[in-house]
Structure 1
Amino acid sequence: MQEAGGSDSPTEERTAMQFDFSDDQKELRDGVRRLLDQRCPISVVRAVADGEAGHSAELWREIGESGFLAAAVPEQYGGVGAGYLELCLVAQELGRSLAPLPTVSSVYQASEALLIAGSDAQKAAWLPRLASGAAIGTVALAERPGETTPGAIAATVRGGKLSGVKIPVADGIAADLAIVLAKDEAGGQSLFLADLGAAGVTREGVKTIDPTRKHARLSFADTPVEPLGAAGQGWALLDRVRDRAAVLTAFEQIGGAEAALFMARDYALQRFAFGRQIGSFQAIKHMLADMYVALELARSNCYYGAWALSVDSDTLPAAAASARVAATQAYQLCSANTIQVHGGMGFTWEFDCHLHYRRSNYLALALGGASLWESRLIAAIRPRAA
C-alpha cells in the first residue's frame, strides 16, 4: 500500500496499510459488473458517442433503480447508506465498462456538495432525485480556457439572481441542477444552487475529446438561485468536494486502465506475426509489463484513498491527490499503449481502443489537470515532511 503523507496516529497508519475490501463489498462489485456486462456492451457506448444524447438514459435509469448511485447517500435522503467503499467499487466497474453516464458530475460532485454544505431543505429536495437517477447534477466553475482561479470568476449573484456564463460544463446538456461558483453581493466567492429548468438559462453544446460525456456552455440571465453553504466559502467547500470526487474518479480510472490492459493482453495473445504471437515479442512484453506496474501502483494509492474517504481521515487531501495522480497516469499510459499493441488497426474508429483513450484524457481533466493535483499533493504532504 502506498501511503501518501503518513499519519499522526500509529493505529490509523496500521489500519490504512492493512486495508482491503470485505467479501460483501467484493460481492457488490461483482453484481455491478454482471449488470454492466449485460446492460452496457460496447454497442451502448458507441451509440452515445455517435448520437446527440448526453448519456444513456436507459442505463442511467437502471443503475439508479438498482441503488448503485445512492451507495453513499444517507437513507433519510433516499439513499442506501452503505458507504464510500461501496461507491468506490461501483465507480471502478463503471470505468471498466466505459459506462456513458454523468457520474463524475452528478454523483461524485453535485451530490457530495449537497451532503457537505446543503441545508436540510436542499438535501430533501435534491438528494433523493440525484440518488435515484431521476435528476442529474453538475458543477459549473470555469468561465474560460485554462485553470480556474479566483481571479477568473466573473459570474455574479445580486438579489438572489445569477448572471454570467460557464464553459465547459460537464454533462451540462442533460443536467437538471448546477452547483455554480459565483461572486456574492459582498464580493466573496460562494456556491449557489441553480435549477437549470428555471428562467434565464440557455444551453449550447460544446464538443470535447470524449463524445460520451457531453459538455455545454451555460448562460445565466437573472436566474433565481439559492446559496449553498456559508457565504464567501465557495473555494473551501470546493476543495472538500474535489478531494472526495478525486478518490471516486480515480476508481473509475483504474477500472478503465484495467480494461485497457486486458484488451491489449488479449489482442497480443490472438494476433500472430512472422508465425508467432505478438505477445511473445520482447517489445510487447515490456509494454504490457509497464502497463501492469502503473495500474497496480495506482490501485494501491486508490485503496489508500478509499480508506481515508471512508473514515474521513485528516490525511484525505494527500490520499486523494496521490490516488488522482497515480490513476491518471495509469489510465493514460494503458489506453495509449493499447493502441500501440493493436498497431495500425488500433488507430481506427472500428476498433474500441480509442474509446478508452478518449475517456482517459477526459477524466484526466475532469477535476483539473495533472499539474493541479501534483501541486495539491505537494501542499498536502509538505507540512508532514517538515
Structure 2
Amino acid sequence: MNFDFSDDARALQDSARRFFDEKAGPTAARRVMNGDAPYDETLWQGAAGLGLTGIRIPEEFGGVGLGAEEACLMAEEIGRSLAPAPLISTMLFTEALLIAGSRAQQERWLPGIADGSIIGCVGWGEERSQIPTSMPDTRLGKSGVNGIKCPVADAVSAHVAAITVAGDDGPALALLDLAQDAAAVEPVETLDLVRPHARISCRDAQAEAMGGTDAFQDFLDRAAVLLSFEAIGTQDAAMAMAVDYAKERVAFGQRIGRYQGVKHKAADMYVKQQLARAHAMHGAWAFQAGAPELRQAAAAARTASLDALTYTAEENVQMHGGIGFTWESDCQFYYRRARAISAALGSRGFWSDRLVRALEQRNRMAA
C-alpha cells in the first residue's frame, strides 16, 4: 500500500514552504515574541490570501475544499517555519466544525475562516484534569456554559472557540462565541512565547452543542494527526539547525561534526524523524480514507512525533553548547514549541495508552 502524498499535494507543500520561508521563520518569531501583537497580522492575511486558512473548508463556504493530506502537509510547513500566526489553532477549530458542527454553524463561521476574517481555537484543558478524554467540569445547561478552559492556544486572538463540555457519556464539543462578555479571555504565561495562550472563563455564556462524545473522539484522532505533522516540521527545522552548526563549529582543531558522539546524536535525530514520519503518513492516509484504524494510526503518529521532537529540541540546545542556552540563540524557539506541542492535546503517556487500547481492540476484533 502506498502511503505517499500525491504530486498535487507535494506541489502545494512546496508553494507553502516558499511562502513561509519568506514571511516566517525564527526572525519573525522573535519579532512577535519581543513585540506587543499576539501574532503576525501580515503573515495571517498573506496565508488567507493564498487560501491556506481554507484548505479543508468546502468550496461552497469559500474554501479550497482539499483533503486531509494537503492539510497535513500544511501543518508540517507551519511547524517548520515556527509561523507566528494562529494557523494551527484555526485548522483544529475548522476540523472540529467539519466533524461536529451543524449546517447552520458551518454557514456562520467557515466563510470567515476561509477569507481570514475569523480566527478559531480549541479549548479542552482544565485545572483539575489535563487528560482530553476525562469528563470536563465545564457544563452546558439551559442558562449557558459554565467553566474554565486553560491554557487555550491563540484564544487571545480568536473570535470563536470549540470547547469541551460534559456530555452524557464523556466529553463533547460546544461552540463558544468569544465576543460575549460572559466569556472572559485572560492571557496566561506559558513556555511558548510566540504562540500566546489564555484562560477562557465562562459564566452563563451562550454556547451551542456540537455533536456528541463520538464526534469528539473522532476529532481527537484527526487533531492528533495534524499536530503530528506540525511536530515533524518543527523537528526537521531543529535537526537542520543542529546539523548545520555541527558542520561549522570548530573545537579542539576540528569541526564538532567529526566527533563520534555528535554524529551519533545527529543520526538518532534522523532515525526518530523517519520513524515518526512513517507513522504520520499512515495516520494521514487513515484520516483521508476514513479508515477504521485511524485511532491506532493517530495515536502512533502522535507518540512517535513527540519522541522525535522532544529529543531533537533538547539535543539541539546541547549541541550548540553554552550559546544554545542564551536568549540570543534561536534554539529556544524549537525547545519552547516542543513543550507546547507536547501539552497541546494530552501527554505522550495519554497517547501511548490510547495506542495500546486501540491495538487491544483491533486484536479482539481479529480473534
TM-score bracket for the superposition, by shorter chain length: over 0.9
- Pick one of 40, 47, 50 that aligns with 2:31: 47
After TM superposition, the structure 1 = structure 2 runs for residues 244-259 of structure 1, keeping only pairs within 5 Å, are 244-259=222-237
Q: 1:119 aligns with which of 88, 102, 106?
A: 102
Which consecutive unaligned segments of at least 5 residues does structure 2 have?
none
Amino acid at match of 1:212: V
Aligned mates of 2:134, 2:287 — CA distance in 1: 30
Runs of 4+ residues deviating >3 angstroms = 148-152, 186-190
Normalising to structure 2: TM-score of the pair?
Answer: 0.94
Three-state SS of the structure 2 residue aligned to 1:69 is helix
In structure 2, give the amino acid aligned to 1:114.
Answer: L
2-side partners of 1:189 and 1:91: how far apart? 25
CA-CA distance at 1:182 after TM superposition: 2.5
Letter matched to residue 69 of structure 2: L
Say yes or no: does 1:58 pair with 2:42. yes
1:104/1:245 contact within 8 Å kept: no
The root-mean-square deviation of aligned C-alpha atoms, in Å, is 1.8
Counterpart of 1:70 in structure 2 is 54
**Residues 1:372 and 2:353 are matched in the alignment:** no
Partner of 2:335: 357
After superposition, what is the alpha-carbon deviation per residue over 1:133-186, rounded to whole angstroms, capped at 9, x for unaligned? 2111122222205424676633233325222222222211111111122247x8
User: In structure 1, which of residues 290, 302, 313 is the aligned counterpart of residue 268 of structure 2?
Assistant: 290
Q: Of 77, 84, 87, which aligns to 1:100?
A: 84
| Separation (CA, whole Å) in 1 of partners of 2:95 and 2:22 | 29
Q: 1:96 to 1:190 in 2, by over 3 A?
A: closer
| Inter-CA distance 150–66: structure 2 relative to 1 (3 Å threshold) | closer
Cα contact 2:132–2:346 (8 A) shared by 1: no
Taking a change above 3 Å as real, the CA distance of residues 152 and 227 of structure 1, as seen in their structure-2 partners, is closer
1:332-378, CA deviations, whole angstroms, 9 ceiling, x for partnerless residues? 11111111111111111111011101101110110111011001111
Partner of 1:179: 162
Aligned counterpart, 1:156: 139
- Give the TM-score normalised by the residue count of structure 1: 0.90
The whole-number CA distance in structure 2 between the counterparts of 1:212 and 1:151 is 29
Paired amino acid for 2:91: V
- Structure 1: any 5+ residue segments left out of the alignment? 1-14
Q: How many residues align?
A: 364
- Does residue 307 of the first structure (1) align with residue 285 of the second (2)? yes
Amino acid at match of 1:198: Q
Given candidates 312, 315, 320, the residue that maps to 1:342 is 320
Percent identical among aligned pairs is 41
The aligned residue for residue 4 of structure 1 is: none
Which of 176, 200, 209 in structure 2 is aligned with 1:227? 209
Shift, 1:107, TM fit: 0.6
Q: What letter corresponds to residue 353 of structure 2 in structure 1? A: S
Query: Superposed, which structure 2 residues align to 1:145-224 within 5 Å?
Result: 145-148=128-131, 153-183=136-166, 190-224=172-206
Secondary structure of the 1:256 match is: helix
Q: Work out whether residues 119 and 157 of structure 2, in 8 Å CA contact, stay in contact via their aligned partners in 1.
A: yes
Q: Quick one: which amino acid aligns to residue 84 of structure 1?
A: A
- Matching of residue 37 in structure 1 with residue 6 in structure 2: no
Residue aligned with 1:168, SS: strand
CA distance, structure 2, for counterparts of residue 239 and residue 143 of structure 1: 18
Contact 2:135 2:170 in 1 (8 A): no
Residues in 1 aligned to 2:286 and 2:59: alpha-carbon distance in whole angstroms: 22
Greater relative contact order (CA < 8 Å, ≥ 6 in sequence): 1
- Shift in CA distance, 312/167, structure 1 to aligned 2, threshold 3 Å: same
* 1:355 alignment partner, SS class: helix
